[in-house]
Structures are given as C-alpha cells and as structure tokens.
Amino acid sequence: MLLKIDTADRRSIYQQVADGIKTLIASGDLREGESLPSVRQLAGDLGVNLNTIAAAYRELQAEGLIAVKHGSGAMVNRRSGPRPSGDELRRPLRTALTGLVLAGLERAQILGLVGDELETLLKGVK
Amino acid sequence: MLLKIDTADRRSIYQQVADGIKTLIASGDLREGESLPSVRQLAGDLGVNLNTIAAAYRELQAEGLIAVKHGSGAMVNRRSGPRPSGDELRRPLRTALTGLVLAGLERAQILGLVGDELETLLKGVK
Amino acid sequence: MLLKIDTADRRSIYQQVADGIKTLIASGDLREGESLPSVRQLAGDLGVNLNTIAAAYRELQAEGLIAVKHGSGAMVNRRSGPRPSGDELRRPLRTALTGLVLAGLERAQILGLVGDELETLLKGVK
Amino acid sequence: MLLKIDTADRRSIYQQVADGIKTLIASGDLREGESLPSVRQLAGDLGVNLNTIAAAYRELQAEGLIAVKHGSGAMVNRRSGPRPSGDELRRPLRTALTGLVLAGLERAQILGLVGDELETLLKGVK
DNA sequence: GTGGTCTAGACCACG
DNA sequence: GTGGTCTAGACCACC
C-alpha cells in the first residue's frame, strides 16, 4: 500500500487514509476484488492506532467502495452505494480551483495541472 | 454578499463562509481594496454565531487574503501571505478529481466540468 | 430520553441506542427538529462511554435520521437518506415472525402482538 | 436444503444459516425428526468454512431446535429448550416494525406484509 | 457548551 | 487469522 500520513495535512488521519485508498481505487492501483491490508497491518505500517484505520474502512464501506467481511478482511467493491449529488461533486472542484486561482496560476497552468492529475488517475484506462 | 449557508454541506459553517469569500475574491466579485461586511452584519445576515464569522475572517487573514483593521472592518488584500506549497495545491485537486472518477464520469465530462467552473471563476479576467 | 441498556440483549450497546432512538422517532416521541441529548449527557445517563454514543449517532446520521452539527448538537431529521431495499425490510420481519412461531405462538396470538406493537408505534398518528 | 448466503446481507454468515434453518423449521419444511445435512456437506454446498456451519448448529442446539449426536449428524427437535422471554420475542418484532414505519409504509401496508410473511411461514399448518 | 479524532489496550465475534 | 466493540482519557475544532 502506497499510503502516507502527512501531519501537515489538515485532514484527519482517517480521512487521509480513506481519501488515499479512494485515489488508489480510482486510478486502478487497487482493482475490483482485490484485498485490502488488514486493519492491524495497515495501522502498524502507518504507525497509527487500529481504530483509526477501522474508521477509514468504515467510511469506504458506507460509500460502497469496499466490502468488509467480519473475519475475512476487506475487498475492493467498485459499485453503486449512494451516488453523491451534483453539488457534492462540484463543490470540492470549485474549492480546489479557487485555491489554484488565488495562488496566482494562469488558466493554462491550471488546465495543465488538471490534465496532469487526470492522466495519473486514468492511466489504467485505455 | 452573495453567500449562503447550506446545511446539507458537510463542511463546517465557518469553512463554507471562508471558502465562499475565497471564491468571490478569485472570481473578481470582490476586488482588491473592497470592504467586507462587518462580522456582526454578516453573522446577522447568515443567521449564524459571531464567532463563526470571526473564525472565517481569521482564516482569510492568515492566508493573506484580507486585511483586518481594528474598528474599521476588513478589506480584500489579494496578494502576499504564505504561498501554499505544491502539495497543498494539488491535494484538493486530486481529491476532487478522484471523486469525479469514482462517480463514473468520463475524462471528457470531467474536463467539461473543470472548464465550466474555471470559466465562472475567471469570468472577470480578460 | 427513555432509553435503557440491556446487558442480556445480544445487540451491541451502540446498536441498542441507535435502535432505541429509531423507535422513538418512528413513534413520534422524538419529533422532527427536536434536539437529541448531547453525546456526553446521554453517555453519562446510560453509564457508557462517550464514544459508544457517538457511534450510535453516527449510524443515525448515516441513515439520514438525524443531523449532527459540530458544536451545536444533533437534531431529528426525518427525511430521505438511502432507502433500505425491500429485502432489507422483509428480512428482520421474517426473522422476528420465525421466532414467534418457534416459541409456539398461534397465528392469532402473533397477529395480536403485531397489532399491539404497531399501535404503540403509530399512537401519534391520527 | 434451500439455503443461500447473501453477501449483501449484513448478518454474519453463520447467522444467516441459523436463521434460515429456523425459518425452515417454523414453516414445516424441516419436520421433527428429520435429519440435517452434515456440517461438512452443508459447508461444501454453501462454499463456506466448516466452523461457520458448526457455529450455526451450535446456536440451534443451544435453543433446543436440533439434537446433535456425535458421529450421526443432527436432527430436528422442535420443542424443549429454554423458552425465550417476552422481551426477547418482542424486541426483534419492534425493531422490524420500526424499520417499516421509518421506511414510510402505512399501517395497512405493514399489516399486509406481516400477513404475507406469516402465511408463508404457516403454510404447512392447517 | 457542543461533537470529532486519536490513542492504548482489552475483549469478543467471525471464518 | 480477521474485524467489531468498548473503555478511559486526552486533545482539538466548532459554535
């Protein structure tokens, strides 16, 4: 698992973990049916408490991205779950773009950054 | 001020206010030197606690986007302030794009959305 | 709050609390817009840990039955949220009825019990 | 055995098996004296672990619904066993009905559902 | 005041 | 082995 905790990140630890795994799923680094590390192992690897990882897995499960089975671990489960609304999708994008504009980036630079990140995410897609 | 509090929004109220003002500044709806409403007035308009607005202004000030003067209110102050690092800029973008990919949007749809939001933000720029 | 923890109940504590509150909402004992006790107070009243109550509130929030606002408490929010599927509704009913049949109750007794519980739940409805 | 494991079912696997067998007994599909499949065979049929089926049989035995004899399998044994208390019978019913009410079903619809399920269970009874 | 997160560590339930 | 629950207590974020 290529995850790292960044203490400078304002997000909570469990949220960083959940977001990181979402990105791995979106990019295809974690494929449907693939197993996630056990709560205990990931907690050990990242140096955080077991409950913190459990909270991250719980969020992913609630969003339908993974299936957690008592006694047998968690598996990627790309599928339905409640679909976020249009607003919920647009809001983070607007916030991210606002940050880029305020940082002084030009339109072209922003589009470059977006393309860059998007390629990374979609690299697994032909 | 064209701000609204959305109780369905998962962000905290102060964060909604701060983000909303950032977007207004980025889009040019609030120009450099322009005055912001007083904490009291904005709190009254939005029906929220004084401290909540004060917290939003504090964040904007810490980011160098507004200048708060005792007794004379706050003014937009685009420029200066600590520049966010590359990571801090990329992170929200990556998270937003991850959400769009997981929602099942195609590359073209995502680029469309980005262009859309970006035009709105940069509408004031020639 | 008319909740009690039953140590003989096989459900987890947080589940008993969540289910209990659901019943109070269904029966109208807790009305839309009404405030729930604070996590700390309910934890104290029931003699359990704060985190246990927080877990119950988190479940209710995920089901859209309450709105939890950081800093200002939780409110009943009868509304949408993801609707359970037909199976998810029928299963508990089938399990409950199976238990009644195996306990030796006759059809009439079972229907009496059902009517009884249903009246209690719908007592607030004209 | 007409049992199926549903991975979407939030109950544990052993509980699905135990509940399923209880329903078969209540409905008369499994009659007193009839033999249950061996732990090995049922585990193989359902594609689950031996221990999982063993746990289900253990629960049924504890409730006096089956008699397990060393080496000769398990037999349905309707009757005897500790009678569940009134609370233990009412609780699942109340929880099930609460779910139906919160799902927005009307009294008549609920009674229809109950009647429906009850007929299925009691179909073998004259 | 409110809820949210995190830790440490225990014990239970499931497969 | 796996995940789930619970406790005790700390500290932070929000209103």
Query: Could you tell me which residues are beta bridge partners of residue B56?
Result: none
Helix (H, G, I), strand (E, B) or coil at B78: coil
pLDDT bucket at B125, cuts 50 / 70 / 90: low
Q: For A29, how many CA atoms within 13 A lie in the half-sphere containing its CB?
A: 13
Instruction: Give residue B51's identity as a one-letter amino acid code.
Output: N
pLDDT value at position A90? 94
When pLDDT is averaged across residues B11-34 and rounded to a whole number, the result is 93
pLDDT of D69: 81
Interface test with chain C among B7, B10, B50, by most C beta carbons within 10 Å = B7
Asked whether the beta carbons of residue C111 and residue D114 sit closer than 8 angstroms, the reply is: yes
- CB spacing of C92 vs D90 below 8 angstroms: no
For Cα atoms B93, A115, B24, give the angle at the middle one, nearest 5 degrees. Answer: 45
In this predicted structure, the answer to whether residue D33 has a pLDDT above a threshold of 80 is: yes
pLDDT at C78 over 60: yes
CA B81 to C1' F3, whole Å: 46
Asked which of A8-17, B76-85, D41-50 is least confident by mean pLDDT, the reply is: B76-85
Give the number of other Cβ atoms within 10 Å of residue A98's Cβ. 22
Other CB atoms within a 10 A radius of the CB of residue B113 amount to 19
Lowest mean pLDDT among A11-25, B72-86, C109-123: B72-86
pTM: 0.92
> What pLDDT is attached to residue A64?
92
Please give the Cα distance from B82 to C104 (Å, whole number): 74
Give the whole-angstrom CA distance, residue B107 versus residue A65: 20
Say if residues D36 and D75 touch (Cβ distance below 8 Å).
yes
Residue nearest to nucleotide F2 (CA to C1'): A71
Of D2, D36, A83, nearest in space to B102 by CA: A83
| pLDDT attached to residue B2 | 79
The CA distance from A68 to A39, in Å, is 11
For residue range B58-78, what is the model confidence (pLDDT) as tens digits?
A: 999 999 899 888 777 889 986
Determine the pLDDT at residue C32. 93
Angle at A22 between CA A16 and CA A24, to 5 degrees: 105
Does pLDDT of A125 surpass 90?
no
C-beta of residue A113 within 8 angstroms of C-beta of residue A99: no
What distance in Å separates the CA atoms of residue C78 and residue C67, rounded to the nearest whole number? 9
C105: left (phi over 0), alpha (psi -120 to 50) or beta: beta
- To the nearest whole number, what is the mean pLDDT of chain A? 92
Q: Which of B72 and A67 is assigned the larger pLDDT? A: A67
Average of pLDDT values for B31-58? 92
3 state SS of D52: helix
- A47-56 pLDDT, tens digit per residue, is 999 999 999 9
D80 has a pLDDT exceeding 70: no
User: C-alpha dihedral over B47, B48, B53, B56, to 10 degrees?
Assistant: -110
* Mean pLDDT to the nearest integer, D38-67: 92
Q: Mean pLDDT of all residues in chain D?
A: 89
Residue D9 Cβ < 7 Å to strand E? no
Contacts of C14 (CB under 8 A, 6+ apart): C52, C53, C55, C56, C59
pLDDT value for D7: 86
Interface test with A, best of B76, B87, B89, B113 (most A CBs within 10 A): B89
Q: State the pLDDT confidence band at D85, using cuts at 50, 70 and 90.
A: confident
Type of residue found at C16 = Q
| Region A31-42 average pLDDT | 96
**Which residues 11-50 in chain C have a CB closer than 7 A to strand F?**
12-15, 48-50
pLDDT at A4 over 90: yes
Q: Do A102 and B19 touch (CB under 8 A)?
A: no
Question: Is C29 strand, coil or helix?
Answer: coil
Q: Rg for chain A (alpha carbons), in Å?
A: 16
Percent over 90 (pLDDT), chain C: 85
- Test D12 with A70 for CB contact under 8 angstroms: yes
| pLDDT of C43 strictly over 70 | yes
The SS3 of residue B69 is strand
Q: B121 or B2: which carries more pLDDT confidence?
A: B121
Dihedral sign from CA coordinates of B22, A85, B12, B38 = positive
User: In the predicted model, what is the mean pLDDT of residues B43-69?
Assistant: 92
Q: What is the CA radius of gyration of chain B?
A: 16
pLDDT in the model for residue C121: 94
Judged against a pLDDT cut of 60, whether residue C107 lies above it is answered with yes
Give residue-wise pLDDT tens across range A80-116: 667 777 888 999 999 999 999 999 899 999 999 999 9
Q: What is the token pair recorded at D79?
A: 């009757």
DSSP B14-66: HHHHHHHHHHHHHTTSS-TTPEEPPHHHHHHHHT--HHHHHHHHHHHHHTTSE
State the Cα–Cα distance between residues D22 and B50, nearest whole angstrom: 60
SS3 state at D50? helix
